[in-house]
Each structure stands twice: as structure tokens, then as C-alpha cells.
Structure 1
């Protein structure tokens, strides 16, 4: 995965809370810290996110995004 954002944190999905439109995704980072992002429900489905899956928090100036390999 190549991206222009310089701040990328690898973690495991430990919690997902889906609403009508959005899904809140929580990642556990290697040191035990967590980071949470809100993405669209459609994006979560396209990324095939599930508990335990490795994903990346991609941080730019204004947002925290979620990505997978």
C-alpha cells in the first residue's frame, strides 16, 4: 500500500460499532494504545473489516483514515 500521508500506524481491529451510515473502528496499536476512527459503513464493508484483522490508521492534517493491505 503506497500513500502520501506520512503518519501510518499498524494495529488490530478490537472493536467496531456500526450505525446506519457510519462505523466506529477501534485499533489496538503494538504498544497497547488504541486509536479510533469513524468511517462510512460502506468503507468498512469494502475493507472487509472484522475483529482481529490487521489494519492501518492513516493520519493526515485533518483526518484519521483506516486502510488494509
Structure 2
């Protein structure tokens, strides 16, 4: 599958924290960097996500906010 998102980061799922509607997925993308994503429980099930799975983080956003 081709996709337009240019910001793609391969990584490994290190944690899945279920919620009532959305779950939180933590992905280690290397170099000590962890990306956290909130996705629906339905999507977690449909994708069959498990800790240890190799996945690709795709980032496509019109705004990226940084605070200090």
C-alpha cells in the first residue's frame, strides 16, 4: 500500500493500555524515543495489535504544537 504521509517511523509496540472507547499504544521508534498514540479499541482489535509487534507510525498533521 502506498500512502501520502512522509513522516513514517518504524518501531515496536512496548505497551497497550486499554480504555472504554480508546486505547493508548506506546511505540519505541529507537534512539530512546517513544511515540504514544490514542486509537479506538475497535481499531486495536481489527489490527490485531500486541506488545512486541513491529509497526509503522505515520504522522500527518496540519499543525504541530510545541510548548515549553
Aligned residues: 63
Pairwise CA RMSD: 1.5
Taking structure 2 as the reference length, the TM-score comes to: 0.84
Aligned to 1:5: 5
1:47 maps to 2:47: yes
Higher radius of gyration, 1 or 2: 2
CA separation in 2, counterparts of 1:51 and 1:5? 24
Following TM superposition, by how much is the alpha carbon of 1:62 offset from its aligned partner in structure 2, in angstroms? 4.7
SS of 2:30 mapped into structure 1: coil
Taking structure 1 as the reference length, the TM-score comes to: 0.83
Runs of 4+ in 1 over 2 A off after TM superposition: none
Unpaired stretches in structure 2, ≥5 consecutive residues: 64-68
In structure 2, relative to structure 1, the CA distance for the partners of 1:5 and 1:14 (3 Å cut) is same
Q: How does 1:1-69 map to 2 (within 5 A)?
A: 1-62=1-62
